[in-house]
Amino acid sequence: MQALPAKAMVIHMKYIQIPNTTLTVSNLILGCMRLSGLNQSEAETLLRTALDEGINHFDHADIYGGGQCESLFAKALGNTPSIREKLVLQSKCSIRKGFYDFSREYICSAVDGILQRLHTEYLDILLLHRPDPLMEPEEVADAFETLHRNGKVRYFGVSNQNPMQMELLQKYCGQKLIVNQLQMSLVHTPIIDGGISVNMKVEQSIDRSGSVYEYSRLKDIVLQAWSPFQKGMFEGSFLGDRQNYSELNRMIHELAEKYQVTDTAVAVAWLTRLPAGIQVILGTTRPQRIKDACAGSELPLTRQEWYRLYLAAGNILP
């Protein structure tokens, strides 16, 4: 159930400073992947709701809606200089039709297109969307340096990369990698499972992430969790799925009633409770879902509650 109790806790948006930058960002991000499915009026309502709730960080990619998501974002928000200075805009590139591309030519041209569609002179953060095995790191480093020198991108990061992929890139890049965007939710936890079950002969002990959680904390890289409510890549939400996640949903709702928030807020709070300063990307197009999620920005789940949810999701503690 998602009904909000009559008397709710007063919870405010939490902000973090991304290390090695001047960026102060909300720990919730509005992901704009589905924005092109809205008309301009609906998009305006969605974006204003996010801003009113304290979200100042917005995530894009050049492939979202074939670029239409970025164009609609600029139209709906009226991206004037007075508004732009309040926003942290990030976008991603590298996914092309049938292949990935880390070439210098593509990265630079992709950024030009992103800036044009967003009606802005610069991106706060550019991420490389999916790893390219054909990457020449010197070529990426050259692209990053050119974009930074020309004032088109302030900071750089990656998406869906493991520590060694980042190490290879960082060896050649003068620009510090500040962000890594990875899939994570209460029911998708590979980045912490292996660490919890080190050296155990169980499925959960398999290291699928290269210890990216610990690496990111060591290197001051902020993790951004995408699909925070999904039970697979895009297989629907685990919230309300009482056929596959009955005990988890029962416990989530129990905590929602305790803290006088919605179930959505509890799912968000499980991620924001991690001490790595994780940002949660909301891919919703529903204003109410944004409001519900924002109540989990700094919801104070106890250590015991956090572990109870982890276990209820089907995980083990050795």
Active site residues: 64
Q: The tokens 């995980």 sit on which residue?
A: 315
Cα(first)–Cα(last) distance of the chain, in Å?
A: 32
Residue ranges of the alpha helices (H) in the chain?
40-52, 68-77, 81-84, 104-118, 137-149, 163-172, 190-196, 212-218, 246-259, 263-272, 287-294, 303-312
Tell me the two tokens of residue 206: 């398999």
CA-CA distance, 208 to 201, in Å (whole number)? 15
Angle at 84 between CA 119 and CA 287, to 5 degrees: 95
CA-CA distance, 52 to 77, in Å (whole number)? 13
Three-state secondary structure call for residue 125: strand
Q: Taking the mean position of all CA atoms in its chain, how far away is CA 184?
A: 9
Q: Which neighbouring-strand residues pair with 179? A: 222
Q: State which amino acid sits at residue 43.
A: A
Q: The tokens 């992709």 sit on which residue?
A: 110
* Angle between helices 104-118 and 137-149 in degrees, nearest 10: 40
Q: Which neighbouring-strand residues pair with 16? A: 25
Do 27 and 77 meet the contact criterion of CB atoms below 8 Å apart? no
Tell me the two tokens of residue 251: 């416990």
| Antiparallel, parallel or unpaired: β 24-26 and 28-31 | unpaired
Q: The tokens 């999904």 sit on which residue?
A: 230
Task: Count H helices and E strands in the chain, helices first.
Answer: 12, 12
